[in-house]
Amino acid sequence: IQYYHKRWQQENTEENFFKWLDRGGGKDLSLPECARDQLEAEVRINLSYVTNSYLLVI
């Protein structure tokens, strides 16, 4: 995700990063350093871990 964040910082946009990435100017972007499919797979894994940790009942 850091490659996409770096690209977002270089863009002339007023959208926040996640809006830009999901619905804005970066939604169809696929970078050579990290293909879009790889990015989406990594984000799903990380969000699943965070969500599962948050919902864990002890």
Phi-psi region of 12 (alpha: psi -120 to 50; beta: other; left: phi over 0): beta
pLDDT at 54: 56
Separation of alpha carbons 49 and 19, rounded Å: 22
pLDDT at 1: 85
Q: What is the residue extent of each domain of the chain?
A: 2-55
- In order along the chain (58 residues), what is the average pLDDT of each group of 10 residues? 94 92 93 92 62 55
pLDDT at 6: 96
Helix (H, G, I), strand (E, B) or coil at 30: coil
The widest CA-to-CA distance across the chain, in whole angstroms, is: 45
> C-alpha angle with apex 11: 5 to 15, nearest 5 degrees?
75
